[in-house]
Chain A
Amino acid sequence: GESVGLHLPTLSVQEGDNSIINCAYSNSASDYFIWYKQESGKGPQFIIDIRSNMDKRQGQRVTVLLNKTVKHLSLQIAATQPGDSAVYFCAENGIPGNTGKLIFGQGTTLQVKP
């Protein structure tokens, strides 16, 4: 069945270091991928997205890498800050061309140590 998974449930990094959060997806037909950040007591917040016709996309302090060959997605956060502490979810669309139904991974908790 369709599933999106993350390699590590918890990632602990030192403030100022770079963070890399990984995600494996199983549906090779997915053509849209998103990263969300969820802080305690809040709804998920969009970070960055990427379409399958791209390998890399950069935002402010964040970069998403997509490797379609091994169905792997990663989120890189530069100069990690305490405010980056949250649960990070990757998601795929599952249905090509349709972004209305997202399949989420289980999430990785990022802990930033001061």
Chain B
Amino acid sequence: KAGVTQTPRYLIKTRGQQVTLSCSPISGHRSVSWYQQTPGQGLQFLFEYFSETQRNKGNFPGRFSGRQFSNSRSEMNVSTLELGDSALYLCASSWRDTNTGELFFGEGSRLTVL
């Protein structure tokens, strides 16, 4: 069974640009969550989608957005990139149909903003 797949794995952008990251959850999983990981702030929750609806949202500015498609694949977008957006962006999927279940993480997309 394939795990959570994130693309691209690495990318470099410059300030002011925008970026789109993609996540394919484990087959059958309907919930996708996104987390930002930095050395200073650790792992921070961005948002969670379930059946194409955003169910939870973290404390990030509106430059961070996401969406989920009917096949449960998800994308997140960061507009007007800042140096501080450099981070590992992790996607996780789960069953989440009964508010239970572990999160399965992908290996992340490492974004560097120059």
Tell me the A residues contacting B by CB distance below 8 Å.
Answer: 34, 36, 41-46, 49, 89, 91, 95, 97-107
Asked if residues B105 and A100 are in contact (CB atoms below 8 Å), the reply is no
Taking CB as reference atom, which chain A residue is nearest B57?
A101
Task: Jot down 12 A-B pairs with beta carbons below 8 A, ordered by A.
Answer: A42-B107, A43-B90, A44-B90, A46-B103, A98-B56, A99-B101, A100-B31, A100-B33, A100-B56, A100-B96, A102-B45, A104-B44
- With beta carbons under 8 angstroms apart, the residue of A43, A98, A106, A107 that contacts B99 is A98
Asked if residues A49 and B42 are in contact (CB atoms below 8 Å), the reply is no
CB distance from A34 to the nearest CB of B (A): 7
Asked if residues B43 and A104 are in contact (CB atoms below 8 Å), the reply is yes
Tell me the B residues contacting A by CB distance below 8 Å.
Answer: 4, 31, 33, 35, 42-45, 48, 50, 55-56, 58, 90, 92, 94, 96, 99-108
Taking CB as reference atom, which chain A residue is nearest B6?
A43
Taking CB as reference atom, which chain B residue is nearest A97?
B99
Chain A-chain B contacts (Cβ-Cβ < 8 Å), number: 60
Instruction: Please give, as numbers and ranges, the residues of chain A lying within 8 Å of B94 by CB-CB distance.
Output: 99
Asked if residues B107 and A100 are in contact (CB atoms below 8 Å), the reply is no
Instruction: Please give, as numbers and ranges, the residues of chain B lying within 8 Å of A34 by CB-CB distance.
Output: 102-103
CB distance from B10 to the nearest CB of A (A): 11
CB distance from A92 to the nearest CB of B (A): 11
Taking CB as reference atom, which chain A residue is nearest B49?
A100
Asked if residues B96 and A99 are in contact (CB atoms below 8 Å), the reply is yes
CB distance from A60 to the nearest CB of B (A): 15
How far, in whole Å, are A107 and B50 apart by their CA atoms in the complex?
28
A101 and B58 contact, Cβ closer than 8 Å, known pairs A89-B43, A107-B42? yes
